[in-house]
């Protein structure tokens, strides 16, 4: 079979070369030339280009997208309600985190589909069968094909017309037109582009799995995430049992939703009440512990913030943060030093989010600053108190969004007191009774510490 002629294009300046070069002659960048297929329709063609016809927005007939529920509620949540027909979904995560386990369990739940095509480029049919038996997967409509050539997969999909195709993984697939090895930048980009074209033209919903790099990004070109419809990251420490499925991009739903799972011997188990899970082992009357309420998409969650402040044995004190932005922690400690007069410059500080969850929203600032102060003063915070609020550089406690959901979650789990920003009180006063939850307002950090200590 003859191969199409390829060129190497610099990703920085667009310089083209018939062969690979370590340094681009055009801009001087190193390792920037990537193998690509030339566009034969535009290079050397004497035919006029097809005339584009604009269409008015009012003339476009569009309804609500058709979704198919997978039967795994947490997976449906992050997708925005289910799989959209003809969409391309990318699930990324570290090797061994549980991506293949998740999609196998999804296949088991979707028995209503007449055919599910599972393309395995990493494992043999026997290995998949052993995992399926361990997970209790028994779907007679699940068909497995060990294949790495995209051309073969495309021909098989055109012949069988399966409603759902799963590719495990994208780094093992290749197209024969490119000479580079499978998993290279050019192969991953070309295979993904053809999978997208196949999904749209044939109406086949496609899920592709991809490994991530040490930096946490999908292995391969960054344009990979721009081509697909939905990008999901499967996060979690391999030494812990909990897993977080997080939406990074979703053309058919919210990009802030998360799904929570627990890895067990029988597979992934959905956690419908993450707040209770995160607080299950919270210590009683321990200094340096505070409970905050964070919102991920539409889901409020109560998590425990732990802080340990101890005298430093070195000239340069250590600062460490797990599950929360390190720069945010140092900023909050600077507020304590400048606005409160708490001398932390000779103390090591360690801040951790219990349970392995990663939180990013600033509404947890008040809980972080309370946990640090509690450990520094060695005075425990009442275990029935929840902290909500963003901290500014002048020490003020700023209002946060979705305060109603946060308070309702705290009341549902039996907390008795909640410290909130004064700016949210106007909204809180319009709420109905919160099952014995007492709400205290604060305007700045000093008021919060005076109220607690």
Q: Quick check: 432 pLDDT over 80?
A: no
Total domains, the chain? 3
Give 139-162 pLDDT, tens digit per residue.
999 999 999 999 999 999 999 999
Q: Quick check: 41 pLDDT over 60?
A: no
Which of residues 186 and 364 earns the better pLDDT score? 364
Please give the pLDDT value at position 13.
Answer: 77
Under a CB-based contact definition with an 8 Å cutoff, are residues 340 and 333 in contact? no
Q: Quick check: 435 pLDDT over 70?
A: yes
E strand or H helix that includes residue 425:
helix 425-428
Which of residues 47 and 172 earns the better pLDDT score? 172
Please give the pLDDT value at position 1.
Answer: 45
Residue where one domain finishes, among candidates 240, 272, 304: 272
Claim to verify: residue 244 and residue 287 sit in the same structural domain: no
Claim to verify: residue 243 and residue 390 sit in the same structural domain: no
Count of residues making up the chain: 453
Among 44-48, 110-114, 167-171, which is the least confidently predicted range? 44-48
Residue 57 included in any domain: no
Looking at residues 163-168, what average pLDDT do you find?
95
- Going by pLDDT thresholds of 50, 70 and 90, the confidence category of residue 355 is confident
Looking at residues 415-438, what average pLDDT do you find?
88
Claim to verify: residue 185 and residue 309 sit in the same structural domain: no
CATH of residue 446's domain is 3.30.230.10
DSSP calls for 148-186: -BHHHHHHHHHHH--SEEEEE-GGG-B-TT--SPTTSHH
Please give the pLDDT value at position 44.
Answer: 40
Claim to verify: residue 172 and residue 301 sit in the same structural domain: no
Mean pLDDT of the chain: 88
Please give the pLDDT value at position 220.
Answer: 57
Domain span at 112: 66-272
- Going by pLDDT thresholds of 50, 70 and 90, the confidence category of residue 94 is confident
Looking at residues 325-344, what average pLDDT do you find?
95
Please give the pLDDT value at position 292.
Answer: 96
Claim to verify: residue 187 and residue 264 sit in the same structural domain: yes
Claim to verify: residue 206 and residue 256 sit in the same structural domain: yes
Among 58-72, 193-207, 263-277, 344-358, which is the least confidently predicted range? 58-72
Residue where one domain finishes, among candidates 239, 272, 305: 272
Q: Quick check: 372 pLDDT over 80?
A: yes
Which of residues 307 and 243 earns the better pLDDT score? 307
Claim to verify: residue 141 and residue 218 sit in the same structural domain: yes
Claim to verify: residue 170 and residue 265 sit in the same structural domain: yes
Q: Where are the beta strands (DSSP E) in 188-318?
A: 205-211, 230-235, 242-250, 258-264, 267-270, 289-296, 299-311
- Going by pLDDT thresholds of 50, 70 and 90, the confidence category of residue 43 is very low
Q: Quick check: 46 pLDDT over 50?
A: no
Residue 445 included in any domain: yes
Among 17-21, 58-62, 402-406, 424-428, which is the least confidently predicted range? 58-62
Looking at residues 353-366, what average pLDDT do you find?
90
Highest-scoring range by mean pLDDT, 7-21, 257-271, 324-338: 324-338
The token pair at 204 is 């086949």
Looking at residues 407-417, what average pLDDT do you find?
92
Residue 300 included in any domain: yes
Residue 92 included in any domain: yes
- Going by pLDDT thresholds of 50, 70 and 90, the confidence category of residue 40 is very low
Please give the pLDDT value at position 45.
Answer: 40
Angle, vertex CA 400, rays to CA 395 and CA 403, nearest 5? 135
DSSP calls for 81-139: SSEETT-EEEEEE-TTSSHHHHHHHHHHH-TTSS-EEEEESSS-HHHHHHHHHHHT---
Please give the pLDDT value at position 182.
Answer: 83
Please give the pLDDT value at position 39.
Answer: 54
Claim to verify: residue 295 and residue 201 sit in the same structural domain: no
Claim to verify: residue 283 and residue 384 sit in the same structural domain: yes
In this prediction the pTM is 0.78
Looking at residues 55-84, what average pLDDT do you find?
88
Claim to verify: residue 363 and residue 231 sit in the same structural domain: no
Please give the pLDDT value at position 18.
Answer: 87
Claim to verify: residue 32 and residue 91 sit in the same structural domain: no
Looking at residues 319-327, what average pLDDT do you find?
94
């Amino acid at each position: 079979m003859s191969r199409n002629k390829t060129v190497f294009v610099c990703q920085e300046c667009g310089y083209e070369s018939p062969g690979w070069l370590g340094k681009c002659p055009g801009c001087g960048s190193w390792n920037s030339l990537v193998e690509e297929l030339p566009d034969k329709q535009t290079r050397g063609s004497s035919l006029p280009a097809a005339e584009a016809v604009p269409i008015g927005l009012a003339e476009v007939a569009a309804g609500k997208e058709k979704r198919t529920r997978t039967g795994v509620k947490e997976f449906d949540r992050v997708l925005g309600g289910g799989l959209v027909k003809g969409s391309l979904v990318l699930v990324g995560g570290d090797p061994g985190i549980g991506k293949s386990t998740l999609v196998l369990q999804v296949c088991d739940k979707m028995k209503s589909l007449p055919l599910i095509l599972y393309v395995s480029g990493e494992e043999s049919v026997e290995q998949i069968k052993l995992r399926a038996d361990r997970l209790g997967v028994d779907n007679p409509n699940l068909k497995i094909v060990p294949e790495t050539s995209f051309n073969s997969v495309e021909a098989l999909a055109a012949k069988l017309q399966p409603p759902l195709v799963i590719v495990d993984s994208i780094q093992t697939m290749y197209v024969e037109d490119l000479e580079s090895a499978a998993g290279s930048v050019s192969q991953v980009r070309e295979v993904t582009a053809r999978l997208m074209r196949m999904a749209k033209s044939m109406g086949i919903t496609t899920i592709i799995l991809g490994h991530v790099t040490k930096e946490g990004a999908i292995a391969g070109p960054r344009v990979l995430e721009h081509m697909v419809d939905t990008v999901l990251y499967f996060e979690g420490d391999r030494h812990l049992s909990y897993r977080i499925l997080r939406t990074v991009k979703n053309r058919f739903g919210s990009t802030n939703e998360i799904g929570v799972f627990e890895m067990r011997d029988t597979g992934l188990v959905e956690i419908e009440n993450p707040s209770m899970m995160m607080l299950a082992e919270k210590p009683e009357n321990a200094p340096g512990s505070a409970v905050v309420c964070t919102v991920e998409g539409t889901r409020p969650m109560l998590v425990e913030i732990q802080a340990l402040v101890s005298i430093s044995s070195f000239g340069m004190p250590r600062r460490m943060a797990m599950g929360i932005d390190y720069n945010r922690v140092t900023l909050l400690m600077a507020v304590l030093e400048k606005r409160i007069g708490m001398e932390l410059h000779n103390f090591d500080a360690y801040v951790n989010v219990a349970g392995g969850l990663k939180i990013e929203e600033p509404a947890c600032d008040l809980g972080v600053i309370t946990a640090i102060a509690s450990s520094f003063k060695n005075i425990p915070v009442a275990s029935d108190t929840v902290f909500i609020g963003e901290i500014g550089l002048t020490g003020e406690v700023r209002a946060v969004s979705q305060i109603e959901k946060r308070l309702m979650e705290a009341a549902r789990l039996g907390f008795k007191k909640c410290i909130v920003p004064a700016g949210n009180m106007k909204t809180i006063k319009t709420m109905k009774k919160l099952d014995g939850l007492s709400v205290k307002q604060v305007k700045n950090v000093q008021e919060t510490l005076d109220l607690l200590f």
